[in-house]
Amino acid sequence: MSVEGVFEVTDRDTNSLAEFLSQRGCQVLTIDNHVPDGHYTVKSMAEDTAQLLDHLHWTTDNHIVGISMGGMIAMQLASDHPAYVASLCLISTTSTWQPTPVPDALPRTLDLSSPNYEVEAMLVEYPETWLAAPSKHDPRQTNQEYTLEVWIAPHVWQHALTDHCPVKLGRTRLSSSKPPTPEGYKRQLWAVEHYDLGEEGLARIARAGYPVLVCTGDQDAIVAASNSEFLADRLKAPLKLFAHCGHNVNVQECERLNQLLLDFLSMPKGGEH
């Protein structure tokens, strides 16, 4: 089961992993948030996830993968409902919110008023050196050009498709999911900034005994890599640090991360990677 985060701006992030695993015999569930009134909280989103698993009768043996805010939801679910979990993979996440390594990183990813919104967001989510390098998928383009065209989906912000946001980008990826709204993103941001699983929550995960894997990029400007180091230490879990990667390690190193997850899921008791 994959739980996505507030900073994953297109469903292709999930679909790439879901397709990779489903083609290899896994049954994959990806989830969206519902739309409650008032503030979101990570705990309430974890309870929504538990209720969905109950509805599907998936109450045991679930391999949980959480990215960014999705990692927070995954940890809360694993702490509150350990019987549901067979393994836990945490990517670019934290158990308690800390100031971002780059000042104003979060506002820059959500400021739709900026005429260079997509570029501003990418400069936070990816290292500049990687953005300037040729894409391995299409060497005629830089990673920035390729990512704007293929991964970033401006249809998420359909109302923002103005003269400064080329319409062709909005046509690149049409999602079957209902696009999130700016208000929804603000509520998710509030949930992230007020999240704290605490030492006891982490201890419950550690005591549960299921395998845990922690992954992060060493140049994450939104959730510092030190947060993943802390999680790996507290959860007695292996840490995979992706060199020269930012927050969206699942985009920069999609193939490597997918294979790492498959190897992890194939190991009955987890292990070092």
Count CA atoms closer than 13 A to 13's CA, side-chain side. Answer: 27
**Which pLDDT value is given to residue 121?**
74
pLDDT score of 135 more than 80: yes
- Decide: 88 and 212 in contact? Cβ < 8 Å: yes
**Which pLDDT value is given to residue 168?**
34
Q: What is the pLDDT of residues 208-261, one digit of tens each?
A: 999 999 999 999 999 999 999 999 999 999 999 999 999 999 989 999 999 999
- Decide: 10 and 179 in contact? Cβ < 8 Å: no
- Separation of alpha carbons 193 and 134, rounded Å: 35
Task: State the average pLDDT over residues 22-35.
Answer: 79
**Which pLDDT value is given to residue 35?**
59
Q: What is the pLDDT of residues 32-48, one digit of tens each?
A: 766 556 778 999 999 99
Task: State the average pLDDT over residues 104-131.
Answer: 73
**What are the distances in angstroms from CA 172 to CA 13, 162, 235, 256?**
14, 16, 40, 24
- Decide: 21 and 89 in contact? Cβ < 8 Å: no
Residue ranges of domains in the chain, CATH in brackets:
2-99+197-265 (3.40.50.1820), 105-184 (no CATH)
- Spatial CA neighbour of 237 closest among 260, 212, 218, 217: 212
**Which pLDDT value is given to residue 213?**
98
Query: What's the whole-model pTM score?
Result: 0.83
Q: What is the pLDDT of residues 68-116, one digit of tens each?
A: 999 999 999 999 999 999 999 999 999 999 888 877 776 666 665 566 6
- Spatial CA neighbour of 103 closest among 224, 196, 187: 224
Q: What is the pLDDT of residues 166-220, one digit of tens each?
A: 333 333 333 445 555 667 777 888 888 899 999 999 999 999 999 999 999 999 9
**Which pLDDT value is given to residue 181?**
64
Task: State the average pLDDT over residues 143-171.
Answer: 51
**Which pLDDT value is given to residue 4?**
55
Please give the residue that has the higher pLDDT: either 4 or 167: 4
